[in-house]
Amino acid sequence: MIPAGFEYHRPADLASAVGILRAHGDEARVVAGGHSLIPMMKLRMAELGHLIDLQAIGELKGIEIDEGRVTLGAMTTQHELIAHEGLARAIPLLREAALQIADPQVRYMGTVGGNVANGDPGNDMPGLMQCLDARFELYGAEGTRQVAAREFYEAAYFTARADDEILTRILLPIPPAGTGYAYAKQKRKIGDYATAAAAVLIGEGLSSVAMTNLSDTPVWSEEAGTALAGGDIEGCVEAMLAAIDPQEDMRGPIAFKRHVAAVILRRAIDSALSRRA
Amino acid sequence: MKDEVQSPEERSAGLKGMGCSRKRVEDVRFTQGKGNYVDDIKLDGMLTGDFVRSPYAHARIKSIDTEAALAVPGVLAVLTAKDLEPLGLHWMPTLAGDKQMVLADGKVLFQGQEVAYVVATDRYAAADGVAAVEVDYEDLPVVTDPFKAMDPDAPVLREDLAGQTEGAHGPRRHHNHIFTWEQGDRAATEAVLAEADVVAEEMVYYHRTHPMPLETCGCVASMDKVTGKLTLWGTFQAPHAVRTVASLISGIAEHNIRVISPDIGGGFGNKVGVYPGYVCSIVASIVTGKPVKWVESRMDNLMSTAFARDYWMQGKIAATKEGKITGLWCHTTADHGGFDACADPTKFPAGFMNICTGSYDIPVAYLAVDGVYTNKAPGGVAYRCSFRVTEAAYFIERMIEVLAIKLNMDAAELRRINFIRKDQFPYQSALGWEYDSGDYHTAWEKALNAVGYDALRREQAARLEAFKRGETRKLIGIGLTHFTEIVGAGPVKNCDILGLGMFDSCEIRIHPTGSAIARLGTISQGQGHATTFAQIIASEIGIPADDITLEEGDTDTAPYGLGTYGSRSTPVAGAATAMAARKIRAKAQMIAAYLLEVHDDDVEFDVDRFVVKGAPERFKTMKEIAFASYNQAIPGVEPGLEAVSYYDPPNMTYPFGAYICVMEIDVDTGEHEVRSFYALDDCGTRINPMIIEGQVHGGATEGYAIAMGQEIAYDDMGNHKTATLMDFFVPTAWETPHYTTDFTVTPSPHHPIGAKGVGESPNVGSVPCFSNAVHDAFRPFGLVQSHMPHDHWRIWKIAEDLGLHG
Amino acid sequence: MSKMHIKFTLNGQEVEGLAEPRMLLIHFLRETLKVTGPHIGCETSHCGACTVDVDGKSVKSCTLFACQADGAEITTVEGLVNSDGTLGVLQEMFREHHGLQCGFCTPGMITRAHRLLQENPTPTEEEVRFGISGNLCRCTGYQNIVKAILAAAGQLNSHKEAAE
Ligand SMILES: Cc1cc2nc3c(=O)[nH]c(=O)nc-3n(C[C@H](O)[C@H](O)[C@H](O)COP(=O)(O)OP(=O)(O)OC[C@H]3O[C@@H](n4cnc5c(N)ncnc54)[C@H](O)[C@@H]3O)c2cc1C
Ligand code: FES
Ligand code: FES
């Protein structure tokens, strides 16, 4: 459980960070909260020559709430996100989900940017971001670009982000007032990743459903959302079941996961409907 | 004098003796981070050792190349079996009469087995060295199923035993067979089964798990070449036994070995055995002339040191139509892994599994246990229980439920009909034990009343109807257990480990000013010995507990003892403590009589003093007596006030308890919620109620984990699937149930203070209680038996198989 | 790898030392600085035995490199003792309510509870259980730990009221 050696960098701005990334190619990795990366390094499953710590980069911090839009700096921790009252009013789904991630210590360190950039199918934020139709802002040598969360995930640990890009901000449309929301997650204990988790929004002209840890990427299903918008809950569940592809692990066999996926999704829908104004 | 105005009650309270919830003296250090655990030890020039471990469960080792590792900066040596062989240390004896590889000798038998030992300046360099060792393996067919291991053409695991038809515990009838252990009357039991009104038969599996103390195992070995003395600090539950074993296998004279157990971060059985890390560290210290530390990682711990359970128990229970049990039969297949490294008393290769008749008056019984080798880690320790008692209790408490189903009877009533009655104690069990004391009916009624059993059953029935009407997806399960523990190993006549009789010891010295030091052969791993043993002495000789220092764990100073496991400290060392204290009291009586100028028989003990009978104003306090023992020549009495006692208990003690749990179960997701958990324990005389309650909370939480998710699992290739705390279930405060504790007191008739020991009862009792609750929820739908752990998917599977998902 | 010079405030005092960049904070504390209150129970970020307070956050110090903590303000269980050397309120309440047995989880548990009570001085039992869910204890079953933390909250609040 001892990582291999590396060199440590703590740049003060984005441009320097990207400079170091470019200089060292795939030898270099950024670290945000480190609570996905450092465990991998300790298992020597991620070996790298240069570690670029993003903690000193002011541009990556902060939560802004404007007309109709929330902007989360990539280095916002889950703890900060939970503690922010304005954010909880604007998009309560975020707090509800973040409280179901990991444990208190991990939430103090784990960042929203790290969670969505990581590409681990177990992470909760990617599905959540897809449900909310977030956009990720990436900064690289060629400048800044945005990618929709719904188009970001390619396979486990493969995303649309280029190796020398840094995820800087997450842009989220604020759902219309009165939108019902819920994040439901089944896990074995606190600190565990999801057996199945569902993010649901139901509102005026907006119905969106995404699920976590049931495929090698998060699963957002347009069909499921459409069915839900039409009040067809079982159609929504069916569409989702057609879209997921869970694997057996210690949480259980595939048949169990498919069953639980449907139950958790219905649970989230019920809860979202009950909150819909 | 202040003394004179205090009543005896006030004086007694001031002692903080037995029966009071004395605050723990240990905690002042622990709460400020001033504990001294093995990994806290830092010596000048100390090196670190780390293992190269096998990624294969069964493979031949073709070559080990250490060259690159030796080139890593900071790496000083790499030991392999070849280096240990000339010393005769490449294998070591196990506590179960088998032998075990210290470092892989030609082959490996389980994933995570120790292959090479890298010694380096610090743990970082050691890890780099481990990564640089190149091992060439040739994989061999793997057996992880103990039944398949006994197939005629199963792969041969222990080539070193080829052709050996006699093992440490009798004949071996197959190349992967270790022993068969038989107890009871087979013919009589089979006759009863053949003629019984009712016979219930079931396979009950108690899965493999692990004690997982929060601190892993480790040691620091320091060989002083000048004095020839080896000092070994380690996480040892039995420091004296470690010293003897270390001497026997290393050839270093026993007086030249000093073993010290510093503070221990929980043991639960994990720290009883002797591990390759200890042997390699000693060798490395001898080779390098420097102290060497080895502390395993959590993954190492879960993969290689001492698992627990893994018993497949085939049972048959016979009864009359009215529910009176007439006989019990059990055949167990015990999966021991690659080496038989159980930590059981020598004559008990399956521990005290023959306590499996439980709390019930069963006229005839038969038990056979077959030990089998597989490609899994060795171990088979008592995880917070007395040798295999958890397995036995789980078996009988499941069989009772299975029988209740067969008889269509309430399981509480079935127990009531079959309990050993109070007037039957001391009770001879069909499998050879003499139960010392008990009052099961009283405990049972108290428990049922406390939880409102009848009302609970009505609520459960109502819920079932609601479920059938489609109004809810949650069922209620009511888990019942009445267990009988057997602890305090044990009488030297039938209990030994490696030939060392399982007595224990205490030495007490009273200082001239009336304070004292006591030293014991045991070692606390959180049980609070420094607190409770001082309480025993306080009550016995009238010195305030606060004035007594308690020391354990240093073999140079403590008297010989067999250590702390199997709940034996209170029954054995606690008795030794009381006996040593009584020797002191007897001497004090002579001194007091002399000082008061009366005959010995004319003074009597009164809380903290001896008084002249009939003249209570004439007395000598223990303080005065202590001083006199050092400063006055007393005719016929040696100076000083010290005593030592080696206590060989006449019998085991038999704590018991009644546990009841109420659980809500979601049939769709397999999620559950423990609504309440009631634990009534009878551990005889209660020394410190606060500590007893804490032990019950802790043990029940372990039991909850084991029953509801915790397991050591392997795939068919022998890959370990639960090597981190992500998959090895240890509940947080959030999942952990709330506990209600209660008690009855039935003292042990043969123990000097009547105490029986409690540390492990809650683990023994809670596992069947939780498991029975799960089974009970599904009983109306026909569930008879479903194996633990009852994690979400397995509960879901029960419901799925019963057709509850539509 | 060349070593880095690392400096931070530990329990109110400036400390420094040399460490390879890959050295984890827990090892830097325990081995370089010989502050052995925080323990190692899993090394995989699950048990919380290594919990220390870094800039007002409860952090598992096995999952942070020492160099990342350069410049930080760190508190360990050793720093929660009163200035006169007596046990701090949480420490005293753990002792009073038998909130520890082997003591191995205790430093991490108390350090975490300290931060929890800073953020939420009047927690419910449920909030305490949720708030310490990053810390495993194998001995106590948590019931007395929870009791101890609630009692400490009560004491701290009555001290505060008395001061006002
Ligand atoms: C015990 C435990 C339990 C957990 N349980 C959960 C859970 O239930 N649900 C869950 O979602 N997560 C869980 N996590 C993961 C945790 O939330 C992580 O913190 C999170 O996944 C990653 O965030 P981080 O800031 O720690 O990222 P890091 O570990 O620092 O980085 C993760 C990856 O993302 C990259 N990265 C980070 N930031 C950026 C950026 N701005 N731009 C580009 N690349 C970047 C890194 O290079 C790295 O490859 C758990 C972790 C632990 C230790
Ligand atoms: S050692 Fe850091 S969380 Fe377990
Ligand atoms: S007191 Fe032992 S782990 Fe908590």
CATH number for position A193: 3.30.390.50
CB of A193 closer than 6 angstroms to any ligand 1 atom: yes
Q: Is B591 helix (H, G, I), strand (E, B) or coil?
A: helix
Residue to mutate, C140, C143, C145, ligand 3, most ligand atoms under 8 Å from C-beta: C140
Same domain, A69 and A166: yes
Same domain, A62 and A143: yes
Residues above pLDDT 90, as percent of chain C: 95
Ligand 3 atom with the smallest distance to the CA of C139 is 2
CATH classification of the domain holding A161: 3.30.465.10
Domain count, chain A: 3
- B403/B202 Cα distance (integer angstroms): 10
CATH topology of domain B2-35+504-647: Aldehyde Oxidoreductase; domain 4 (3.30.365)
- Dihedral of alpha carbons B710, B715, B719, B721, sign: negative
Residue A81 lies in a domain: yes
For residue range C79-97, what is the model confidence (pLDDT) as tens digits? Answer: 999 999 999 999 999 999 9
Same domain, A124 and A99: yes
Q: What pLDDT, on a 0 to 100 scale, did the predictor assign at position C1? A: 63
From the DSSP assignment, how many helices (H) and strands (E) are in chain C? 5, 5
Q: What pLDDT, on a 0 to 100 scale, did the predictor assign at position B3? A: 47
- Which portions of chain B are predicted below pLDDT 50? 1-3
For residue B201, report the phi and psi dihedrals to the nearest 5 degrees.
-130, 135
* CB-based contacts of B534, cutoff 8 Å, min separation 6: B25, B518, B545, B546, B548, B550
Q: What is the DSSP string of C100-149?
A: -SS-SSHHHHHHHHHHHHHH-SS--HHHHHHHTTT---SSS-SHHHHHHH
Q: Is C77 helix (H, G, I), strand (E, B) or coil?
A: helix
Q: Of A147, A173, A199, at which residue does a domain stop?
A: A173
What would the CATH number be for the domain defined by B307-489+652-801?
Answer: 3.30.365.10
Same domain, A154 and A189: no
Cβ of residue B721 closer than 8 Å to a chain C Cβ? no
Q: What pLDDT, on a 0 to 100 scale, did the predictor assign at position B566? A: 65
Q: Where are the alpha helices (DSSP H) in A43-136?
A: 78-83, 85-90, 92-98, 104-109, 112-118, 125-131
B384 is catalytic: yes
| pLDDT at residue A49 tops 80 | yes
Q: Which CATH class is domain B38-140+216-264+272-304?
A: alpha beta
Residue to mutate, C25, C46, C111, ligand 2, most ligand atoms under 8 Å from C-beta: C46
Chosen for mutation from A8, A50, A105 (greatest number of chain C CBs closer than 10 Å) is A105
Ligand 3 atom with the smallest distance to the CA of B526 is 2
Q: Of A173, A192, A213, at which residue does a domain stop?
A: A173
Q: Of A173, A194, A223, at which residue does a domain stop?
A: A173
CB of C141 closer than 6 angstroms to any ligand 3 atom: no
Q: What pLDDT, on a 0 to 100 scale, did the predictor assign at position B489? A: 79
Residue B472 tokens, joined: 């809810």
Q: What pLDDT, on a 0 to 100 scale, did the predictor assign at position B545? A: 95
Q: Which of B22, B384, B519, B609 is catalytic?
A: B384
Of the candidate ranges A4-8, B345-349, B642-646, C137-141, the one whose mean pLDDT is the lowest: B345-349
Answer whether A5 sits within 8 Å of C51, measured CB to CB: no
Q: What pLDDT, on a 0 to 100 scale, did the predictor assign at position B2? A: 45
Per-residue CA distances from B631 to B199, B547, B553, B634 (Å): 73, 20, 32, 9
| Number of CB pairs, chain A paired with chain C, less than 8 A apart | 81
Find out whether B193 and B316 touch, Cβ atoms under 8 Å: yes
Q: Return mean pLDDT, chain A.
A: 97
Contacts of C46 in chain A (CB under 8 A): 191
Find out whether B286 and B261 touch, Cβ atoms under 8 Å: no
- Among protein residues, the one whose CA lies closest to atom 49 of ligand 1: A118
Find out whether C84 and B24 touch, Cβ atoms under 8 Å: no
Answer whether A4 sits within 8 Å of B128, measured CB to CB: yes
* Average pLDDT estimate for A224-231: 96
Q: Answer whether CATH 3.10.20.30 is correct for domain C4-79.
A: yes
Residue spans of the domains in chain C: they are 4-79, 82-163
Using the structure block, give the residue that is written with the tokens 């569902």: A198
- A43/B131 Cα distance (integer angstroms): 11
Answer whether B792 sits within 8 Å of A253, measured CB to CB: no
Q: Which CATH class is domain C82-163?
A: mainly alpha
Q: What pLDDT, on a 0 to 100 scale, did the predictor assign at position B383? A: 85
CB of C38 closer than 6 angstroms to any ligand 2 atom: no
Answer whether B212 sits within 8 Å of C91, measured CB to CB: no
Q: What pLDDT, on a 0 to 100 scale, did the predictor assign at position B729? A: 98
Contacts of C67 in chain A (CB under 8 A): 8, 10, 53
Cβ of residue B472 closer than 8 Å to a chain A Cβ? no
| pLDDT at residue A103 tops 50 | yes
B164 is catalytic: no
The residue range of the domain holding A21 is: 7-53
Q: Which of B111, B237, B527, B695 is catalytic?
A: B237
Indicate if B307-489+652-801 has the same CATH topology as B38-140+216-264+272-304.
Answer: no
| pLDDT at residue A180 tops 60 | yes
pLDDT class of A46 with cuts at 50, 70, 90: confident
Contacts of B726 in chain C (CB under 8 A): 44, 46
Q: Is B258 helix (H, G, I), strand (E, B) or coil?
A: strand
Contacts of A192 in chain B (CB under 8 A): 726
